[in-house]
Amino acid sequence: MSVEILDGATIVNFMEDEEAFNVQICDRFAHLDSDHDGRLSYGEMLKELQCLRIFETHFGVDVETDPDELVRVYDSLFVQFDHDLNGTVDLEEFKSETKQMMLAMANGMGFLPVQMVLEEDSFLKKAAEWESAKLVA
């Protein structure tokens, strides 16, 4: 984990760079697709959903959460990704829903810088790294 400063513009600009965003989406999808069938099962997708740590932290500190509540949330999120409700998530569904989630985060953050603790492989970390690389270039 690392501490980064970012704002909504960082996320939006990263997603607007189609090439950079697509590379990250494809890399993440391939990493999650452990059986290499081009689709993410619930079990494969669960790893990604757990990385979101939706109810598991309060200001970066782990808290006790009802396991049944977490299962319901993860089930609901999986259905959100599974647009055609066939029980798996393909690359286009993954890309589309990830983009929607990142836009929602950007809108929620606004354009004032926020200091955040980010997982190393998270899309937000990739957006922060992308922005840093642009500033150096």
- The answer to whether residues 111 and 7 touch, using CB atoms and an 8 Å cutoff, is yes
Per-residue pLDDT of the chain (137 residues; tens, 9 = 90+): 788 888 899 999 999 999 999 999 999 999 999 999 999 999 999 977 876 655 555 555 566 777 788 888 889 999 999 999 999 999 999 999 999 989 998 888 888 888 887 878 888 888 888 888 887 76
Report the predicted TM-score, pTM, of the whole model to 2 decimal places. 0.81
* pLDDT (0 to 100) of residue 34: 96
What 74-82 contacts at long range (C-beta under 8 Å, 24+ apart), as own/partner pairs, is 74/46, 74/49, 74/50, 77/49, 77/52, 78/42, 78/45, 78/46, 78/49, 81/40, 81/45
CA distance linking residue 36 with residue 1, whole number of Å: 28
Write the CA distances from 133 to 59, 60, 76, integer angstroms. Answer: 28, 26, 36
pLDDT at 49 (0 to 100): 80
